[in-house]
């Protein structure tokens, strides 16, 4: 289609060298072939031209691995790698901060750009500002102007801002949402791009919310470097807002699809060379994964995020998690464990809290109940009850525990025809159990009542329950 169109334009264009007289099908075919080859060559030229324009650099660096015992660690607090003479990668030492973030210094002809200031404000721990100043061209008042920006507002990417406060040649861009939008003129954030002009070096700024709403990524046209902060890195991709993160990944994929990318450089490394995560807050990274990722990783990111389940997912090289939801789930789990342990403890205390009973405990109950039988029988007689009367006796027990109450119920159900139930009273911490029941209608006498009470007290004793008395309706 393209070639036919091109040739018809050639035919109409008198200045075109292919617009000769011979328009026969064979000649047309030849023309199509030549044009197609020319265009293919031109495209090849254009793309290799774009690559040739990229400033080359080296990622041949071994990052300090921290230490299992940081007290004896003698590595530099701030490692500096020169990617090329106008691009520096700085990393805060794992022993100073487990975050060990990467910071990037890009030098243009008029201005320099520092992406992120790391996790440490105290210059005696990490002399960030002084190190950066030494890398900047110019001396004294002629020192090159420095613009300090952030991938996002998390403190491990901007705690070093304060070190730049007293340098007259430095402008630090705010890290809050309003400052970011205002500085880049993002009126329709997260849509739209911005550019930072460093002289002969332009850096594109792309909003990439998802990990954090202030997150932006940077594309350095000079070296073809893509700085992805915590949006993409060899580590935990913490996604707070999945739909925003997916939109960002799609936007970035569309942005870089036709642009050359030398390396994708993120904010941290949190995994080893085999793709296994180091423990959270680990200050020792033996056999660490390389920092650099590829353009293909950026292009594959949208599909990975689409597969994210909202809590924790692994897709290819990507390990995605929602830290807030995981935190809530963990907190709920911890709470449930505490409640379960508390419950077990309370049950244990209840089961064992019964003070050891005196040997005469059940004899005392029996004596008390027999004595009460006399009084109760006398009272019943006043209400006209005789040994011929049919009565249903209501009775109750106090139980040492729910198990004791249930065991007694089972015993009574097995050996009598009484109606019996476990009764619970009191609040959660002061819970009490008992057994209440009722006999069938029966005629009683003081002798029968004494025998019955004796049997009931003994049954209670077998199941750690105290017979608490009886009554009847007349």
Q: Which residues bind Zn ion (CB under 5 A)?
A: 154, 156, 230, 267
Residue whose CB is less far from Zn ion, 57 or 209: 209
- For the CB of residue 230, give the shortest distance to Zn ion in the complex, in Å: 4
**Least distance to Zn ion from the beta carbon of 298, Å?**
18
Cβ(99)–Cβ(91) below 8 Å: no
Residue (116 or 466) nearer to Zn ion, CB: 116
Considering the complex, what minimum distance in angstroms separates the CB of residue 217 from Zn ion? 13
Nearer to Zn ion, 64 or 230 (CB): 230
Helix axes 446-462, 361-382, angle to 10 degrees: 150
Q: What is the bridge-based pairing of β-strands 102-107 and 145-149?
A: unpaired
Yes or no: say if 217 and 236 are a contact pair by the CB < 8 Å rule: no
- How far is the C-alpha of 430 from the C-alpha of 471, rounded, in Å? 27
Those residues with Cβ within 8 angstroms of residue 309's Cβ, 6 or more apart along the chain or in another chain:
none
Round to whole Å and give the CA distance between 92 and 189: 31
**C-alpha separations of 340 from 144, 318, 329, 331 in Å:** 63, 36, 16, 14
Nearer to Zn ion, 97 or 131 (CB): 97
CB 328 within 8 A of CB 311: no
The whole-angstrom separation of Cα 268 and Cα 119 is: 11
Residue of this chain nearest to Zn ion (CB atom): 154
Residue with tokens 């350095």: 220
* CA–CA distance, 297 with 319 (Å, rounded to integer): 13
Q: CB within 8 A of 466, min separation 6: which ones? A: 361, 365, 397, 398, 460
The minimum distance between CB 293 and Zn ion, in angstroms, equals 15
Q: For residue 390, give the H/E element and its range.
A: strand 390-391
> CB of residue 91 vs Zn ion: minimum separation in angstroms?
13
In whole angstroms, the minimum distance from the beta carbon of 158 to Zn ion comes to 10
Shortest Cβ 212–Zn ion spacing (Å): 6
Q: Using the minimum distance from each CB to Zn ion, give the nearer residue, 220 or 230.
A: 230
In the bound complex, what is the minimum distance in angstroms from residue 399's beta carbon to Zn ion?
57
Beta bridge partner(s), residue 395? 437, 470
| Helix (H) or strand (E) segment spanning residue 248 | helix 242-256
Cβ contact 339:419 at 8 Å: no
Q: Shortest approach of Zn ion to residue 111 CB, angstroms?
A: 25
Closer to Zn ion by Cβ: residue 161 or 466: 161
CB of 236 to Zn ion, least distance (A): 10
**Contact in structure between 237 and 319 (CB atoms under 8 Å):** yes
Shortest reach from residue 339's CB to Zn ion, in Å: 33
**CA distance to 9, 22, 26, 228, 299, per residue, from 216 (Å):** 44, 57, 55, 8, 17
Instruction: State which residue, 320 or 449, has the beta carbon closest to Zn ion.
Output: 320
Centre a 10 Å sphere on the Cβ of residue 445 and count the other Cβ atoms it contains. 12
Other beta carbons within 10 Å of 26: 8
Please state, in angstroms and as integers, the Cα–Cα distance from residue 80 to each residue in 25, 62, 226, following that order: 64, 11, 19
- Cβ proximity to Zn ion, 236 vs 463, nearer residue: 236
Residues pairing with 223 in the sheet? none
Nearer to Zn ion, 160 or 267 (CB): 267
**Residue 207 or 267 having the CB closest to Zn ion:** 267
Closer by beta carbon to Zn ion, 154 or else 289: 154
């Amino acid at each position: 289609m393209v070639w036919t169109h091109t040739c018809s334009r050639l035919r109409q264009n008198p200045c075109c060298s292919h617009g000769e007289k011979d328009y026969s099908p064979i000649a047309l075919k030849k023309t199509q072939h030549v044009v197609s080859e020319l265009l293919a060559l031109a495209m090849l030229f254009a793309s290799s031209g774009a690559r040739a324009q990229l400033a080359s650099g080296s990622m041949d660096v071994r990052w300090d691995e921290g230490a299992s015992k940081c007290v004896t660690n003698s590595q530099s607090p701030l490692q500096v790698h020169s990617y090329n003479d106008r691009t520096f990668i700085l990393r805060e030492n794992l022993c100073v901060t487990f975050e060990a973030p990467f910071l990037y210094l890009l030098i243009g002809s008029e201005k320099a750009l520092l992406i992120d200031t790391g996790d440490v404000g105290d210059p005696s721990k990490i002399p960030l500002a002084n190190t950066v100043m030494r890398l900047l061209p110019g001396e004294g008042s002629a020192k090159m102007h420095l613009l300090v920006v952030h991938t996002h507002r998390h403190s491990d990417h901007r705690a070093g801002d304060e070190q730049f406060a007293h340098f007259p040649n430095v402008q630090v861009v705010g890290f809050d949402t309003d400052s970011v939008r205002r500085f880049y003129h993002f009126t329709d954030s997260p849509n739209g791009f911005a550019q930072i002009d460093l002289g002969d070096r332009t850096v594109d700024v792309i909003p990439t919310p998802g990990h954090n709403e202030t997150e932006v990524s940077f594309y350095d046209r000079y070296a073809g470097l893509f700085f992805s902060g915590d949006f993409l890195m060899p580590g935990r991709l913490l996604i707070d807002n999945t739909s925003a993160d997916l939109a960002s990944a799609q936007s970035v994929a569309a942005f870089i699809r036709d642009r050359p990318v030398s390396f994708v450089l993120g904010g941290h490394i949190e995994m080893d060379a085999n793709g296994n995560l180091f423990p959270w807050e680990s200050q020792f990274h033996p056999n660490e994964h390389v920092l650099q990722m590829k353009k293909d990783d950026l292009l594959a990111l949208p599909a990975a995020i689409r597969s994210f389940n909202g809590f924790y997912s692994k897709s290819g090289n990507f390990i995605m998690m929602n830290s807030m939801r995981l935190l809530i789930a963990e907190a709920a789990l911890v709470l449930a464990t505490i409640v379960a342990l508390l419950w077990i403890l309370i049950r244990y205390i209840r089961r064992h809290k019964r003070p050891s009973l005196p040997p005469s405990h059940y004899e005392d109950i029996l004596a008390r109940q027999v004595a009460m039988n006399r009084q109760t029988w006398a009272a019943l007689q006043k209400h006209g009850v005789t040994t011929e009367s049919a009565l249903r006796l209501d009775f109750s027990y106090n139980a040492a525990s729910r198990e004791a109450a249930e065991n007694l119920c089972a015993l009574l159900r097995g050996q009598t025809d009484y109606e019996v139930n476990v009764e619970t009273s009191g609040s959660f911490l002061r819970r009490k159990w008992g057994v209440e029941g009722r006999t069938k209608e029966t005629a009683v006498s003081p002798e029968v009542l004494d025998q019955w009470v004796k049997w009931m007290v003994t049954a209670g004793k077998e199941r750690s329950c105290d017979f608490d008395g009886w009554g009847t309706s007349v």
